[in-house]
Amino acid sequence: MGTLILARHSITEASAAGRNLGQRSDPPLAAEGTALAARLGATLHAELEELPHDDLRLHSSPALRCRQTAAAVVDAVGGDIDVEFHSGLLELDYGAWDGLTADECRARDPDQRTAWEADPFTTRCPEGESGQDVLRRLSAALDPIEAWLAEDRARCAIVIAHNHVNRLRLCALFGWPMREYRDRLSQEPAGYSIVGLGRETPVVRRVNAAPA
């Protein structure tokens, strides 16, 4: 049973301000985000000490905030690890809501925002994506990784992605109603989850754990 470590990127100015950050801009980590990413790396290094990981791979969204978080993880974990980037792991495209707060979205598009909050899986952001759209493309990226993990208990993959991406994947793995992925799961900056794969039912070890 291989191990999937699914982590969110660290803090950006947008995440600290509660603003939507999807695909329409590509900012770096904030100063506090750089420090938190280093703590995430150190924490994952400690987690790996307790896990079999003869074969370790690291995957990331190509967004700068994820690339910088992944670099901090590589620095802490050590070894000769090449980061593999997948565009399917990019964050939800918020469309016209990109850069806005939740209140600003409600003021701009009250009816669509109400529908989206009730069912973000099938409801698209204006000029953007739905959770279903994201799950489709992220599954194309993660399915082969998870199949590889399931073949050998000594395999481990660290995946650095985004808020909606991680919650959607975890909700699918747990078999929960997909329209409830925002209600059932939280994903803090640099939060990470650990899931064992290879049995019929995934084995959950951590969910949205904070770096030490």
Question: Strands across the sheet with 192-197, in order?
Answer: 83-85, 55-60, 155-161, 2-8, 192-197, 203-209
Residue 210 pairs in a beta bridge with: none
The angle that helices 64-77 and 31-49 make with each other, rounded to 10 degrees, is 40
Which phi and psi angles does 134 have, rounded to 5°?
-65, -45
Map tokens 């481990």 to a residue.
156
Look up 91 and say whether it is catalytic.
Answer: yes
Map tokens 């495209």 to a residue.
93
From 91, 129, 146, 164, active-site residue: 91
**Nearest CA-CA partner of 193 in 184, 110, 91:** 184
Rounded alpha-carbon distances, angstroms, from residue 65 to 13, 22, 49, 134, 184:
11, 11, 26, 18, 25
Look up 49 and say whether it is catalytic.
Answer: no
Catalytic positions: 9, 91
